[in-house]
Chains A and B, each alone.
Chain A
Amino acid sequence: MGFFHRHRGLTPYLLLLPGLAWLAIFFLVPLGFLGYQSLQSGTFDVGYAFDWAWGNYWDALQRYHPWLVRSLIYAGLATLFALVISYPLAYWIAFRGGRWKNVLLVMIIAPFFVTYLIRTLAWETILADQGPVVGVLRDVGILGDNGRVLATSTAVVAGITYNFLPFMALPLYVALEGIDERLIEAAEDLYASKVQAFLRVTLPLSMPGVVAGTLLTFIPATGDFINAQLLGTPRQAMIGNVIQSKFFNLLDYPGAAALSFTLMAAVLLLIAIYARAIGTEKLTG
């Protein structure tokens, strides 16, 4: 252990080394290739050649910004809904879960054991036009007589929300679980009501979890395509669908790459703004 004392300054780099090396080799290198590809031009039949084709990026932004905006909106809504649904759940597990906490956590990720397709098929069964749920919604008047839930933007956002719930719930739980309950007791001893104690003590202390959950939900949700594909119509297509289409159907690999970088830039820009707004301490400690 003397080594670490003498080389104190090295410690962070040693901690970072294995993980970052892994990411450097298996993420950055492919990303570099992707960047190279995004600046190629040509067609699949004739072949692609690198020639600083910045036009790919201009094309991506100019033609596809509506899809980009729609993706950011859907992902944003899904993140918000996930937060609203997950926060009380995570709170309950953290403060009332007792010895069953881990069991409850496993139940949160249980839907992932059956693969995305099966989960979605199950929802399609539950939300079928002829099914009980839609029947009730029609009777109550929320849906028109021929209203449906599936194949709408509601279904797409609901699908994204559902599939990313664990990504919001688990970080929230992590932060809430770490809050010392004595702090809350102390607030109440000082005549704070339960609501005040929550707003003044618990909520602020749980912010790192809120931030983490928001990032883990929003960022990947923007690139999602599968919910729009199975639960939506062409009007709900997200940027992920365009990328899929360019890659698989149009064989336009540079276009797909450029569009991907455009999405990534937009998302990272939003995160930078978000970080600035909430203060970077919540982001990096």
Chain B
Amino acid sequence: MKFVRRHLLTAYAILSFAYLLVPIAVVIAFSFNDPPGRYNYTWHGFTLDQWKNWDAVPALKDAMVLSLEIALLASVVATVLGTLIALALVRYGFRGRGATNLLIFVPMATPEVVLAAALLTLFLNVTVFTLGFGTILIAHIMFCISYVVVTVKARLIGFDRSLEEAAMDLGANEFTTFRKVTLPLIAPAILAGALLSFALSIDDFVITYFNAGSEVTFPIFVWGSAQRGVPPQVNVFGTVIFVVALTLMVVNVLYQRRREVQAA
């Protein structure tokens, strides 16, 4: 019984991960499919052709690269801006806190299609903006900020300030305290916010579609190709991104481990 109790949590966690990742498994599996026509719905046989011809679909690679660039940039900027707002909201009293909180929630509640059209109107009326990479990036940063704020706040609320106070008692000024004490402690929250932003950005369709001009991001490509069958190369790319991201994180872990071992 104790065995069950002790491992219940682990079992549950594994099940949750399975639930989360089972579609990815399907995607990876179907990247090895050999469909007869243009659609990739039913299993027809194993082949490495799609991987060998990974570059066979025009514009897919460019769309993927564009999406990654935008997602990386947008998540960095949104995380910085959002973290600053979260710090201000949780740690300082100021006039307009209620209004600020409202301003953070409203973008999340706004249906994407009307937000997309309204943002396009802004870009069209202010001619300094030409639709393309810049406008996509601006839009993505805009809708990611709220998510970062809420995520980082979850860590800042209830944050034990005594550590910071101790540091300052020992002579550190505010900036050093922030850099050496606070930041490392809220780093997981900042990372989580950045990951959420990245996910939002790389998956966005409607807002991007309206404000992209003739640029094509990965989701736009996929929605477009769904008309005539999503090519298996999309599965290949999805698999590659997943594997690369995982590998980077695993390498990071092993690297940290080496550093710890060497330091010991």
B154 touches A167 (CB 8 A): no
Q: How far is the CB of B72 from chain A (nearest CB, A)?
A: 13
- The verdict on B84 contacting chain A, using a C-beta distance below 8 Å, is yes
> What are 21 A-B pairs at a CB distance below 8 A?
A12-B91, A13-B88, A22-B81, A23-B107, A26-B142, A27-B106, A88-B13, A91-B13, A110-B242, A113-B241, A114-B24, A114-B234, A114-B241, A118-B27, A174-B154, A175-B158, A216-B151, A220-B108, A247-B113, A268-B102, A285-B91
In the complex, which range does the number of interface residues on chain B fall in? 35 or more
Residue of A nearest to B252 (CB): A102
Chain A 164-204, CB within 8 Å of chain B: the 1/0 string?
01110011011101101000000000000000000000000
CB distance from A50 to the nearest CB of B (A): 14
| Residue numbers in B under 8 Å from A121 (CB-CB) | 41, 230
Which of A118, A166, A248 has a CB less than 8 Å from the CB of B199? A166
Q: What 0/1 readout, one digit per residue, does chain A (206-230) give for beta carbons within 8 Å of chain B?
A: 0011011101100110110100000
Contacts of B122 in A (CB 8 A): 26, 29-30, 33
Contacts of B121 in A (CB 8 A): 30, 33
Judge whether A126 and B114 touch: CB under 8 Å: no
In the complex, B226 has a CB within 8 A of chain A: yes
Q: Which residues of A contact B19 (CB under 8 A)?
A: 85, 162
**A residues in contact with B139, CB < 8 Å:** 26
Interface size, A (range): 35 or more
In angstroms, Cα B189 to Cα A174, docked, is 5
Which of A4, A93, A180, A219 makes the CB contact (< 8 A) with B13? A93
B210-245: CB near A (< 8 Å → 1, else 0) gives 000000001100110010001000110010011001
Given A88-B16, A283-B101, CB of A222 within 8 Å of CB of B150: no
A166:B85 contact, CB within 8 angstroms: no
Asked if residues B118 and A34 are in contact (CB atoms below 8 Å), the reply is yes
Chain A residues with CB below 8 A from B12, complex form: 88-89, 92
Does A16 lie within 8 Å of B85, measured CB to CB? yes
Number of residue pairs across A and B with beta carbons under 8 Å?
307
B90 beta carbon closer than 8 Å to chain A: yes
From A4, A119, A178, give the contact of B23 (CB < 8 A). Answer: A119
Residue in B101, B112, B118, B151 whose CB lies within 8 Å of A31: B118
Q: Please determine whether B203 and A115 come into contact, CB atoms closer than 8 angstroms.
A: yes
| CB-CB under 8 A for A116 and B203, given A92-B12, A284-B97, A285-B89 | yes
Nearest-neighbor residue (CB-CB) of A4 within chain B: B174
In the complex, what residues of B have CB within 8 A of residue A244's CB? 113
Add 20 more A-B contacts to A15-B84, A212-B153, A243-B113 (CB < 8 A): A1-B173, A19-B82, A27-B142, A85-B19, A102-B252, A114-B238, A115-B222, A117-B230, A122-B30, A167-B196, A170-B193, A170-B196, A177-B155, A178-B158, A219-B109, A225-B111, A247-B117, A268-B105, A285-B153, A285-B157
In the complex, the answer to whether A223 meets B155 with C-beta atoms within 8 Å is no
* Secondary structure class of chain A's binding surface, majority of residues: helix
* Known contacts A106-B195, A167-B147, A26 near B119 by CB under 8 Å: yes
**B109–A263 contact, CB under 8 A?**
yes
Q: How far is the CA of A1 from the CA of B2 in the complex (A)?
A: 56
Shortest Cβ distance from residue A71 to the other chain B in the assembled complex, whole angstroms: 10
A102/B191 in contact, CB under 8 A: yes
B41 contacts across to A, CB distance below 8 A: 121, 125
Cβ of B3 within 8 Å of any chain A Cβ, yes or no, is: no
User: Given contacts A30-B122, A109-B195, A243-B111, is CB(A177)–CB(B188) below 8 Å?
Assistant: yes
Contacts of B17 in A (CB 8 A): 89, 104, 107
The answer to whether A92 and B13 have CB atoms under 8 Å apart is yes
